[in-house]
Chain A
């Protein structure tokens, strides 16, 4: 006000002109800030990866194509007893079921480790869904890339099972690990 009181007519116009340019720039910044703040709090998706992990685990354990021991004579399935000799290959993708990934596209990588304790030694048996995705994303998880887009999340579910192979049965502390990309 004091400055403007000392200015003549031309000075006031110049002063007002410059001030309004500054105010316009500040208003633009204000507008962009409000938009960014709103976008930061906008929820566009729901994280269902833990649910996906549990559903996949149940698919392996309890579905019609499960890895559980099946009595060939009666057709009875024994949930909780994993038949380690039931699959010729331990890669599950494209054998029992699939999420329909095409090309190099990956959706979920999973590994079930079932240790068999027999003859005084423990042998881990692995069932893997999408080995490439599991190994790649597991590496990213180990490297600490867990936040934001491009990161991965890992879920481990422990379960006590009975491992069966060639007539031998043993208690087994299985671990089901699932890695998925952040989306």
Chain B
């Protein structure tokens, strides 16, 4: 058994080094090869971590929501008469718990990591007209409990208003 093991070790050394260099030489070469494997493992782990961070980042979602809501508010301003529109947050967009700041012609969507996306919307300059104002902290305890379900946009002769409603709340004419 001992002679079989020593023969196997000799074959491994020869394979690794190309020739039999002895115990010390083989150890150094094995250390270098182990270092190489560690480098490869480092590259693989770094890529996996990077791709996971790419998969989890929310740049696209924040930009999409900011632009979608801004276009909605501008389109509501552009409508000739009164209207009520329900903008539902569904699935991934609801679970991500974004914060929304709407006012002064800006829609700002932010997440708990601090990254934010903003977009412009048009506001009428009629004196005395209501303008949309909203501030929702999606990661606050209050909204985690309520669950942001729908934005209700209403346009009347007084101006435009936007409200956020939670799950199960009265959001007429929308159903939350």
Interface locus among B1-9, B43-51, B87-95, B140-148? B43-51
Per the 8 Å Cβ criterion, residues 82-134 of B in contact with A are 104-106, 120-126
Q: Which of A12-20, A116-124, A151-159 contacts B (4 or more CB under 8 A)?
A: A12-20
Q: Is the CB of A99 within 8 A of B105?
A: yes
B19 cross-chain contacts in A, Cβ below 8 A: 4-5
Shortest beta-carbon distance from A69 to chain B in Å: 14
Query: Which of the listed residues B50, B78, B104 has the most CB atoms from chain A within 10 Å of its own CB?
Result: B78
- Measured between alpha carbons, how far is A18 from B20 in the docked complex, in Å? 21
Q: Are A62 and B25 in contact (CB under 8 A)?
A: no
B22–A27 contact, CB under 8 A?
A: no
Residues in B with CB closer than 8 Å to A12 are: 17-18, 21, 25, 29
Q: With A9-B21, A38-B51 in contact, do A65 and B123 touch (Cβ < 8 Å)? A: no
Question: Once the chains bind, are A99 and B43 in contact (CB under 8 Å)?
Answer: no
Quick check: is A55 within 8 A (CB to CB) of the other chain? yes
Interface pair B78/A34, CB less than 8 Å apart: no
- Of chain B, the residue at the smallest CB distance from A58 is B78
A56→B71 contact, CB < 8 A: no
63-81 of chain B: CB within 8 A of chain A: 63-64, 67, 71, 74-75, 77-80
Q: How far is the CA of A14 from the CA of B45 in the complex (A)?
A: 29
Total contacts A-B at CB 8 Å: 116
Best-surrounded residue of A17, A44, A56, A94 (most CB of chain B within 10 A): A44
What are 22 A-B contacts with C-beta separation under 8 Å?
Answer: A12-B18, A13-B28, A23-B36, A38-B50, A38-B54, A42-B54, A43-B60, A44-B59, A46-B63, A52-B71, A56-B122, A58-B78, A62-B78, A62-B79, A63-B79, A64-B126, A79-B80, A96-B124, A98-B105, A98-B122, A98-B125, A108-B120
Interface residues of A (CB under 8 A from B): 1, 4-5, 9, 12-13, 16-17, 20, 23-24, 27, 30-31, 34-35, 38, 42-46, 48, 51-52, 55-56, 58-59, 62-66, 77, 79, 94-101, 107-108
Q: Contacts A62-B78, A64-B124: A20 and B36 contacting too (C-beta < 8 A)?
A: yes
Q: How far is the CB of A38 from chain B (nearest CB, A)?
A: 6
B36 vs chain A, min Cβ distance (A)? 6
